[in-house]
Structure 1
Amino acid sequence: MTSGDLQLRRAEKTDADEIFALAREFAVTFRPERAPFDAALPQLLENEDAFLIVATVEGTVRGYLLGFTHLTLFANGRVAWVEEAMIESGYRRHGIGRRLLEEFETWARSRQAGYVALATRRAAEFYGALGYEVSATYYRKMLRPKM
């Protein structure tokens, strides 16, 4: 792959099948299901606080990043959060993840975000090389419907 083959652009509804396949590739705790995915995608594409970008190689989606900005009280304004970032396994270590994050950072700056954060147990070396540093412990609690 040459850098000329790589294109970044905003995601579109027509990317749904390729993004869904990538989302299923990295999901460990959750198994993405098509109906909720199809319900969420149009809402994300219309949400001005959401940024969903794809990386294509020769016209095929090989990676995507979904992030958000939101207001905070403690950080004197907006912050940006990377919710999902996935590169197809055969296309990792070709600069796609770096380009997606750089594009997200540019968008976050344009929205006056004070910083970008994300939660992951993977790719610490990758994020460190891009200037990200460990900042906090991540907690979560699964919410199950009450019977």
Structure 2
Amino acid sequence: MSELEPKPDRRKFGFRVVRAFLITAAYAVFWLIIWSLTSMLLARFPQYQTFFSVLAGGLLFFAFAIALAEGTIYKYILKIIRAFFLMAYLTYATNGGVLTISFENLALTVEFVPLLALMIVINLLEVARVLLQTIEFAAQSPKD
């Protein structure tokens, strides 16, 4: 290492990891509350637990990674990947916006394609917003 290169600061990185962990823990408490409120209502929906746990786990991963990458270009890349993950997973989990719930002798089909399209448009707007933030971040001069 030459004298001009900055030395890695382990203490600063440790604080970033702890901060990311605390943010993720707060999100986990939120998802646990959502789970406890909705699990009884949707207990008859057979794939609910799997869909919910994959969605919550994915979003918790992105919360940790984005908080850890704060102040870098990777933060914006992870936000874009998160938006595409949400679009793809919501489309997959809802079977393209048509949800069928089967009870003992009754099948209920709910079609909410317009709502799914709205969620996809919101995520596409999020991608556009993050791209603009990325351009702004890249255009800023590095701090001395």
> What is the TM-score with the length of structure 1 in the denominator?
0.30
Kindly name which structure, 1 or 2, has the bigger radius of gyration based on alpha carbons: 2
The structure with more strand, counted as a fraction of residues: 1
TM-score between both structures, scaled by the size of structure 2: 0.31
More helix by share: 2
